[in-house]
């Protein structure tokens, strides 16, 4: 490896899953390393981490970064926190784990980001590549720390990259990359949609080929060697849709009836994944033949029950406005009755008003709960406010009739009421099961 870890001294900031992985990787490679966490860690928490390094808690001393070359900041911590500012004043470089990975990695990589759908596309692409004989491994925001792939037996690394990861990354080389979509999200961190978009655009800094949604609002701000476009219209170039057939350069490659994922937004996700397959030299038709065997990640537009002709769909991972709009637009063409939406939570400073046109056009009623539930009242005349998820499901089931869909797609984070979106989905599922069993 051209980048010699042993010649640098490091501080790891933040000791979540990513931070702990960084510490272990650096120690395994003989680096000098210490760490800090912005939380006041208990002795039990420190013992559970089992990290053989000095761990400090904020605030740090003025001389904490003396003799340090690099601060590796966990993605959950903003580059503007006081500790990072202190590091910069001491002449210390501030990077993230993806940037460290980029300096060491020698495997081909592709990158996926966007406000919504990136985990689905990451997992789908990994599935398609493996089905075609390419040994692929997914990492990044999808869960596996990127540094854990460096010694893995893999031909390709498929990276899901968040805006938080990208804003501390500057040298990542990618054979192909895509920004699936862009909508208000994480504005409490980035401050504005423009700054959020700027962070996402960093995925194209050292990218050979971009995969671009033809009708979307995101394209590379710099000229790349190649671009592959996709969309839901008929076209002779790139990916398009002719009737029920996905085409590539006007040649049919997949019938949409063979896509197990729900909604038209997932047709776009499939196209993006197929485009990245093409970039990696995999035959698109061969890759398309494996789409039908893909099992979606949980809590992303997954039908969990049906009772009296009413379908209950879990889209708890929809933690921003764009994700909920995508779910509604994706379901509307295939629902014979009405959509009843369960939404609400912590909006993270986002403007929810962009939901209004979709709610008015496609949703018959909104059941709102959580910290920012009142914001939904002005968005739809048939908004019902509740206090718990069980109340929400019961209210929705009383309204629903045969042919309707009850959709949990909150457009908000879950942290005001639940540990995470997974717990929110579990509570939703239990409430649905009670209704179904009644």
What are the catalytic residues? 118, 141, 186
What residue has token string 């990975």? 101
Cα–Cα distance for residue pair 374/230, rounded to 1 Å:
38
Q: How far is CA 86 from CA 22, 71, 91, in A?
A: 21, 10, 9
Task: Please name the residue that has the structure tokens 């050292």.
Answer: 206
In 3D space, the residue among 385, 410, 386 whose CA is nearest the CA of residue 316 turns out to be 410
Distance of CA 109 to the CA centre of its chain: 17
Which residues are paired to 259 by β-bridges? none
Distance CA 417, CA 421 (A): 10
Q: CA 275 → CA 124, 157, 210, 291, distances in Å?
A: 12, 16, 9, 13
Asked whether 318 and 410 are in contact (CB, 8 A), the reply is: yes
- Residue in 152, 122, 154, 151 with CA at minimum distance from that of residue 138: 122
* H helices present in 148-263, as ranges: 163-166, 187-190, 193-201
Residue 329 has a CB neighbour count (10 Å cut-off) of 15
Whether the CB-CB separation of 367 and 389 falls below 8 Å is answered with no
């Amino acid at each position: 490896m051209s980048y010699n870890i042993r010649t640098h001294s490091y501080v790891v900031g933040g000791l979540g899953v990513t931070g702990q992985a960084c510490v272990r990787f650096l120690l395994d490679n003989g680096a000098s390393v210490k760490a800090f966490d912005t939380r006041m860690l208990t002795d039990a928490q420190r013992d559970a981490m089992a990290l053989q390094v000095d761990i400090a808690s904020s605030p740090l001393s003025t001389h904490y970064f003396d003799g340090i070359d690099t601060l590796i900041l966990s993605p959950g911590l903003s580059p503007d926190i006081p500790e990072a500012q202190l590091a910069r004043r001491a002449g210390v470089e501030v990077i993230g784990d993806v940037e460290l990975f980029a300096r060491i990695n020698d495997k081909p990589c592709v990158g996926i980001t966007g406000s919504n759908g990136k985990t689905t596309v990451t997992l789908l692409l990994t599935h398609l590549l493996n089905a075609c004989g390419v040994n692929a491994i997914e990492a990044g925001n999808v869960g596996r720390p990127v540094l854990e792939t460096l010694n893995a037996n893999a031909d390709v690394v498929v990276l899901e990259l968040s805006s938080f990861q990208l804003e501390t990354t500057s040298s990542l080389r990618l054979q192909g990359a895509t920004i699936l979509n862009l909508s208000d999200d994480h504005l409490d961190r980035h401050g504005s949609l423009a700054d959020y978009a700027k962070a996402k655009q960093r995925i194209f800094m050292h990218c050979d080929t971009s995969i671009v949604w033809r009708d979307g609002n995101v394209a590379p701000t710099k000229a790349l060697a190649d671009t592959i476009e996709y969309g839901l219209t008929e076209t002779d170039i790139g990916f398009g849709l002719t009737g029920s057939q996905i085409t590539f350069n006007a040649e049919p490659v997949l019938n949409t009836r063979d896509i197990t994922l729900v909604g038209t937004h997932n047709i776009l996700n499939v196209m993006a994944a197929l485009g990245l397959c093409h970039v990696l030299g995999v035959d698109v038709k061969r890759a398309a033949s494996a789409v039908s065997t893909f099992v979606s990640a949980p809590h992303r537009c997954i039908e969990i029950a049906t009772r009296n002709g009413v379908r209950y769909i879990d889209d708890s991972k929809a933690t921003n406005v764009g994700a909920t709009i995508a779910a509604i637009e994706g379901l509307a063409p295939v629902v014979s009755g009405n959509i009843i939406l369960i939404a609400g939570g912590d909006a993270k400073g986002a403007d929810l008003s962009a939901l209004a046109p979709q709610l008015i056009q496609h949703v018959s009623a909104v059941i709102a709960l959580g910290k920012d539930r009142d914001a939904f009242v002005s968005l739809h005349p048939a908004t019902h406010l509740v206090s718990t998820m069980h109340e929400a499901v019961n209210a929705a089931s009383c309204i629903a009739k045969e042919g309707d869909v009850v959709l949990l797609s909150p457009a908000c984070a879950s942290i005001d009421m639940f540990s995470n979106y997974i717990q929110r989905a579990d509570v939703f599922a239990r409430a649905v099961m009670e209704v179904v069993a009644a």
